[in-house]
Amino acid sequence: MVTFTGLGSLPGTDFAAAARMTFDKVPDLPYLPELPARGPWAGMVGRGLGLPAGLPAELSAGEWRLADAPGIDQRRSRATWRDDLDQLEEVADGYTGPFKVAITGPWTLAASLGVAFAGRVLADQGARRDLAQSIAEGAGELLADLGRRLPGAELVLQVDEPSLPAVAAGAVPTPGGFFRHRAVDLPELCRALSWITAEPARRGVAVPTVLHSCALWPGGWPLASLLHCDPTSAGFEGISLDLDQLATGDWDALAAAAEAGATLYLGCLPTLGAVRPLGVDPVRRRVLEAVDRIGAAADVGGQLVLTPACGLAGWTPSEVSRGFDVLAKVTEQVTAELS
């Protein structure tokens, strides 16, 4: 059976209301919402630095940087995480079933986070290793905490990496903007990500993991290296991509991933454009065309999860509600088509 979910960010500042919406509108795979409108500590980078075991950082002149001690905005981020989990525990009291939580990946943080005398963490191999390991530790602590708070939930971990293709291509600009950071090779990219996918198992919390990115990887996504295919891969069980950001070679890679049993999160609901959201028929056609290009068999429905193309922080609450309604109807129709 095909399912659907959201990706993370939602509009507004009322976490309890946003959490209730995800349970009401996305009943098959609700998720922990992110509300970046609350401030920089609640945005992708700030929230990523708010994990319990995160390296100390501070926000200075609009840029997050490593620091000797946590700055006020990092402390706010950690406090926001605690408050969100407290409210989630109330909203989800008694819930049983799948539940997804997202964290910011190490390469997106390394491309955004400053460090003294090196520009960004990305330029310092030791610093990016330490950052990736601290995120893995923080992810394990977060999942263990969620397991205690939501004992009936079947947790899913989503790792957001919008900057991963740019890091691999050597396209991340230096702080001055005149140069680009050197590309990081694929084995190192996968090794850092594998620390996150392996960490939950070492804590006794075995959860499915999915790598999410809204970006285009020039030349095609190296899915065989990112998915759980061999001991040297990054070890993800699923991949979440925007259908509008797929290169020609990605379709063959997605077909191979589907054949290997990976979960495919298809970003079929466009998040940009004057008409928000698209109607049911255009989105259904997009999904069926994607399934046809992947060459998926009828029994692949259980591996498909439909999503918006990216986060929904820029939408209004009514647009978000309508968007989830569209995904619900498309999911029902695509399930019937594949039966």
Per-residue pLDDT, 119: 85
Residues 6+ apart with CB under 8 A from 212: 7, 102, 158, 159, 160, 161, 239, 240, 241, 265
Q: What is the pTM of this model?
A: 0.96
Q: Could you say which DSSP state residue 43 is in? A: S
pLDDT in tens, the chain (339 residues): 899 999 999 999 999 999 999 999 999 999 999 999 999 999 999 999 999 777 899 999 889 999 999 999 999 999 999 999 999 999 999 999 999 999 999 999 999 999 877 689 999 999 999 999 999 999 999 999 999 999 999 999 999 999 999 999 999 998 877 889 999 999 999 999 999 998 665 666 789 999 999 999 988 999 999 998 677 899 999 999 999 999 999 999 999 999 999 999 999 999 988 778 999 999 999 999 999 999 866 567 789 999 999 999 999 999 999 999 999 999 999 999 988
Q: Strand pairing partners for 210?
A: 158, 238
d(CA 204, CA 199): 9
Query: What domains can you pick out in the chain, each with its CATH number?
Result: 1-12+216-339 (3.20.20.210), 39-175+200-213 (no CATH)
Per-residue pLDDT, 32: 98
Residues 6+ apart with CB under 8 A from 11: 35, 37, 312, 313, 314, 315, 316, 317, 320
Find the helix or strand (DSSP H, E) in which 63 lies.
strand 63-66
